[in-house]
Structure 1
Amino acid sequence: MTTDLSALTTAADRWDGMAAEFSKQEKAYKRDVHGITMGDSWVGLSAYAANRRFDTTLKEFQNAQAEAKAIASLLRDAHTQFVDLRGRLRSARQDAVDAGMKVSDQGVVAFDTEKLTQGERTAYVHDPDYQESVRKAVASWQQRIDQLVKDVGEADKGVEIALAAVVIDSDPSDGTLNGFNGKAYGDIERYEAEAAAAKEGLKISGWVSEGKFTVTGPDVGYTVTGPKYGKEASFKAYADLFHATAEGTLTNGQWKLSGIADVYGGARATANFGFNEKGVVGKAEASVGVRALAEGRAEYGPYAGVYGRVEGFAGAEAAVQGKVARDELTVSAKAFAGEKHSVAGGFEVAGIGIGASAEGGTGVGAEAWWGLKKEDGKWALGGDAFVSAAIGAGAGVEITFDPDKFGAAVDGAADAVGGAVDVVGDAAGSVRDTVGNWF
């Protein structure tokens, strides 16, 4: 109630001034930097590359102006809303006081007995109907005050939503992943509506959608942990250019359609060392390049589903691992440089999935292992090596098991059978619990 709301309009004026300064810089950049690629004195691939880069920067100057003007508009909109709502609250408080109430600084309404005459005070103390009418009046004024306070809080939340959204780059394809928002607009209610739609999901013919999109990068850093309780240590270093993920679902009863797309570009290196009662394991990996993945699934409860997936990688990667345990003493290593891609698909029934995959690509790679290990109750000493060059291809089978889905499917089957076959239901539950414990 005592905040100087004029600070909002003052800030809005400064943001408009910022937009004007960006406009000056845009003109200077276009004339002195971007313009040198537009003449005849510089031609060829380098001029073309520079022009593309300069176009992006020039667009950023323009987007910065749009974002700054939108923020100024949002601040003025907020000022208008707050002034109006605070005026309504002050007016309601005065109306309550004029009606014989008192309102504390915390907004608590009470009957003001100090304004009563001696006769009115006597009547109030001895007349139950009078007391009841006062209680109803206090409750009514309290409800009005509370609603107006709530309106101010909701307006404040709307401004927060708008100011958080207006600075998000809405067009990652414009050459920058975290640049200025060239599609910003100064409408608080519009941002509120978009946030509400994203939160609750779009409902069409019984289908409900949910989704999210995240973009991060560029980012550089490293982490070092351990040894944790003397058992594990790890190191991670990364130089991320970008990482974008989009995922969404459509649900309607037992039906669920889901999809995810993920793209990452950069360099990463990790190293882990740990030991426990089973043995000692050391592992190191490094990669640089671009990875992409897209996957879609259609599922009916825990009972059945189908899926498809595509993956791609372009760059270089290497890994080395050593393991010393009661049933294994092995070392392995792999290295690859080039591009490779794979497709996979399959089906799932009651949490058990069977699928196939195919892989192809161009490049140079090698993979090998050697050691002593126990398999199927037998010890084996040996090794294996694989080397590829130029063009390569491969295929495989993948088997998955989801104990939660398996258990839910078995429970559903047992419930469907009903009480007439309780013995079958108990047996199914036992199988579910036994298999689940394996995992």
Structure 2
Amino acid sequence: MSSTDPFKALGLDRGTATEAEVKAAYARLLKATRPEEDRAGFMALRQAFDAARRSARAQDQARAEAARRAEAAAPEDEAPAEAPEAPGPQDVSQPQPNLTWHHDAALGWSFNSSPRGKLVEGAARWMVAGGPDGAAFAARCAEALIALPAPEARAFREDVVNFIAHMADPEEAREDLPVWKPLPVIRPDWLTADVAAILRDDLGLLKFRPSDSWSARNYNAVRGLLAPETAAPDAALPPPADVDAIVEREETEARRDAHGSYYDRAAHRWVDRSPVTVAMEDIAAATQRNMWDLPEALRAIFARDELQALDEFQDFDARLRQMVCAATGWGNEARRPAYPAWLRPQVVQLLDGTFGWSRQFGRQHWQRQQYEWLHKVLSRDVEIGGDMPEFREAAPLPRAQPPSKFSLWEWLLREPRNLLIAYLGYRAVQILWRLVV
């Protein structure tokens, strides 16, 4: 293994070797280079295999692209005969038949019956057991990884990383922390320096790039746990994952719109530039200034074309209701609204005339409570002082009518049940009379 050319170290020709041939050569040499007998030779073999496989994969892709172009450029009458289709790698995106899951209560983890799942379960049990016979385990696991397709091998490493992160943080405290905060992980007792070295060097546990924010945070946590105890711990490890960049991509894909919304990495928050949000920001700025022409400014905002669609109008209505309720003290166990200076009678009339809050009552319980409070804001007589008069004149009370004389005949005919009550009373009087007489 003294050659610096990874293909010569594997006994292959750089110009013609394919990724499958690289895997076969590595499996053949692995039987003669055991890690428990020659660890330096095993590490050199592993490095040569990784470098040769990357180069062979790129060459395979280039050959496939050249063949595709040549086939597209060849005339139809000179098209080569179709060759039998070679079996390709397993499609891991399709569900495997007869795939079952089982939960291990001792480990607190679920495993499946696929080859990758069995390999993950074996690695988890080996780690928790303290890493016995690590060299033999590393050799067996490396051989099993060769047999897996590249996506499955990557998924195996990611599954093991997630398992270690779960064991180091069993309370899942990382779910409630912002992405830029360090993870409160505790090093498990079984994750000794020897176990960490096998996971890091022999299995290449950190040789993948996380695809989502959850895996990226786990990756960074496990990266710190697997760091070698040397003066330069980062020398043998890949750089940490940029969680903020992954979160930015996830937020953009989940909330993508045509209004220029974006994720602010400096502030660690999503900046919503939708028409409803912009309108609410403009209303908040106008109420802060408390302009004398506030009704005209609000009327111009309400008339914007981008707010007239049904979904936008309903969202705008709901958020504006919440704003008015919060500004008047709803939710503070107050019985009477507290009116801010900007909520003048003209503004109240404009809100009610635009959205019709006084004529709505809501369907859900919280909506009914909200509308009841808004009805108080819109119509209740309160002592507010200043230049704010009563919102509405109280309806005149009905005149008291003199009590009418009781009429038995009218009472009997008023409701059918009155006849039944009279009949039952008559029968009761008859029974009592017979008993007495």
TM-score, length basis structure 2: 0.21
Q: Which has the larger radius of gyration?
A: 2
Give the strand-richer structure, 1 or 2: 1
Query: Higher helix share goes to which structure?
Result: 2
